[in-house]
Amino acid sequence: MSTTELSPQGTDSKLVPIRDEGSKKARMASMAGASTDFYGVIGWLAGLVLTLFVSLPLIWFLTNNASRSDREATLALGIAIAWWLNPLSLGALGYVLSNMRAWRMWTVIGLVVWALVNALVSMSIVSTNARIMVVNGLIVVGYVLLGLLFLYIQLRVFIWAASGKPARFFFGTLAWAAFNGLIYWAIISPEVLNIVLVVLSLAFRVVFILFMAIIQFVAIFWFMARSRVETIRPGDPKQVTFDDYKGQPNLIKMVRQWISLLSDRTKFQKMGGQFINGLLL
């Protein structure tokens, strides 16, 4: 065998493993997502079965057998306990447990959050005072999140203004300060707040009218630009033949000749060679 020939590798040669961290991570993420969806659906179905065939019949039985004075309390207590077995609760539990291998210690925090949310909902169902406390707590959390969002916007605007030219920094900071001053003025003055709300209402109406005018054209062009694939076989009612074309018989005759030439490959090549030779000569 010459040195230029290639010889297959022997059985003793080892294949070098290909290490692709990106594909490995993507494959693990896909497997984790599929596992999460599976256990989440299992938890949701288990919650649905328990709610329909265990919780509801038991609540109905206990409520009907309770006295009139205790019927309302029995119903509220039964709903509060059954909340832990509803499809959303068990579906969330399945989601948390399915990510135990990926989250590790974060799974404990997920279980604590799951139990805390269910406990707050159950307490709100049973007690009016607990319901008021939960609503007030949610309002406080909403204000905190709104304040953090406002601070984040402040920081982003400052970074945007500071990363440009001095003129943009000056006018951007001035405009943002005027906007903040208007908000503060609207908070402390009902008259200014009323004017701001009227202006915002007018702006919303204008934007809504423009949106409705534009979305019509968008919907029309989207409907007209939809592409559809239709498969037409010989003999179908939608088949179009030369008999459906009316007018210009010479054009039909020429197209028929071209089709016959294309179908006869050797004849077409021969005519093409004659045409090329005629050009060369």
**Burial of 98 from C-beta contacts in 10 A (0-12 / 13-18 / 19+):** buried
91 has pLDDT over 80: yes
Q: Which residues contact 51 (CB under 8 A, 6 or more apart)?
A: 82, 85, 86, 87
CA pair distance 81, 75, nearest whole angstrom: 10
- pLDDT, tens digit, 9 for 90 and up, residues 161-208: 888 778 888 888 888 888 888 888 888 888 888 998 899 899 999 999
Higher model confidence: residue 113 or residue 225? 113
pLDDT, position 275: 59
**Cβ pair 89, 47 in contact under 8 A:** yes
CA pair distance 205, 216, nearest whole angstrom: 17
Query: Model pTM?
Result: 0.51
6 has pLDDT over 50: no
pLDDT-derived band at 271 (thresholds 50, 70, 90) equals low
- pLDDT, tens digit, 9 for 90 and up, residues 60-90: 999 998 888 888 889 999 999 999 999 999 9
Return the percentage of the chain with pLDDT > 70, whole number.
79
**Cβ pair 268, 261 in contact under 8 A:** yes
Higher model confidence: residue 262 or residue 62? 62
- pLDDT, tens digit, 9 for 90 and up, residues 36-45: 778 888 889 9
11 has pLDDT over 60: no
CA pair distance 176, 183, nearest whole angstrom: 11
26 has pLDDT over 60: no
106 has pLDDT over 60: yes
CA pair distance 48, 202, nearest whole angstrom: 47
